[in-house]
Each structure stands twice: as C-alpha cells, then as structure tokens.
Amino acid sequence: MRIAFLVAPEGVEQVELTEPWQAVADGGDTPVLVSTESGRIQAFQHLDKGDTFPVDRTVGETSAGDYDGLVLPGGVANPDFLRMDEQAVAFVRAFFDAGKPVAAICHAPWTLVEADVVRGRELTSWPSLRTDVRNAGGTWVDEQVQVCHAGPNRLVTSRKPADLDAFCATFLSEFRAERPARAA
C-alpha cells in the first residue's frame, strides 16, 4: 500500500508523524510525505522545534488516486495551516469521495471539519476540538481510538500521542481490511 501523510510546511507534532510513518514502513508499505510546499517540513515536539523531513510530493502534484489511504498527523499549528489551504482541503475531501480510508490524530480532525466530512460520523480528537466536531455534524467520543464505518470509507481517529500504539495498530488493520473491498 502507498499511504499519504499530509502535513503543513511547519507545525506537525513530530511523534505523530514519525511513529505512524515507521509503522507503515515496518508493515512493508510505502509512506509518502505530502505537503503544501516542496522542500522540507519543520516538525515540533510540542512547542519546541524538532527535526525536519523532506517532502516527497506537494498537494498540487499528486492526487488521492495515487494512494491507498491517508494519515493526518496532528500538532496544533499543522491542521490549522492545512485547513487554510484550499488544495490541502480538497486533497483530504478526495479520499472521502473515493471511499478510501483516512486516519487522523490529535488536532488533525480540524482539517476534516474544514473538508466537511465529519457530518454523521463518530470520531475522537484532542478534547478541545469536541465542539468543532459537534458543530460540523459529527459525534465526538472520548476514546483511545475510534473507528467509524459511516459512508463508503473507514475513518480512524485518536486523541493524543499517548494513544499512538493503538492508533497505528488500528489504522493499519483498517487500511488493509479496506483495500480488498475497494478492489472488488
């Protein structure tokens, strides 16, 4: 599987990028770093600058059709930057339109809210997004990991870095389960 990781040029929570990325690679699949700009992205460890990572593709030079699933890492600034970029929002929405699985952790559901894809879905996030999710028509739950099968695709969400083990195991399982159903 080819899995897109969509991040802004700055502000992604490093561990929410690196642990899911490593889980995808360890599973024999191909992670691809997609951003709104080429070059390198700047990750953060909460409020402190972390490492930088090379961008593989920009949202302008790729599409949802190039991937089997999408992972949206969190960080407070990352999804806020993404939700202000029309191409990034359209990229996210295209995964839902195509019925492809999506995983989002921490503050990443802000981008889902902006893409108008949470209506009728049950999901979790960092607790401060609860009202945003509800106002967008979703049902917010306080769970380590939440899988929603509403609509043609699977949506996997988690609350915070402490949930990463469950998040990674669950989204990989769900992405693999989704693939044969789409191929049929």
| Tens of each residue's pLDDT in the chain, 184 residues | 999 999 999 999 999 999 999 999 999 999 999 999 999 999 999 999 999 999 999 999 999 999 999 999 999 999 999 999 999 999 999 999 999 999 999 999 999 999 999 999 999 999 999 999 999 999 999 999 999 999 888 999 999 999 999 999 999 999 998 654 444 4
Catalytic residues: 106-107
Count of Cβ atoms closer than 10 Å to residue 166 Cβ: 15
Beta strands in the chain (DSSP E): 2-7, 10-13, 30-35, 40-45, 48-54, 57-58, 69-72, 102-105, 122-123, 139-140, 145-148, 155-158
Q: In this predicted structure, what is the pLDDT of residue 45?
A: 96
User: 166 with 158: CB under 8 angstroms?
Assistant: yes
The CATH label, of 3.30.70.1290, 1.10.132.20, 1.10.357.10, 3.40.50.880, for the domain at 2-179 is: 3.40.50.880
Domain borders along the chain are 2-179
Q: Which residue has the tokens 């990028």?
A: 17
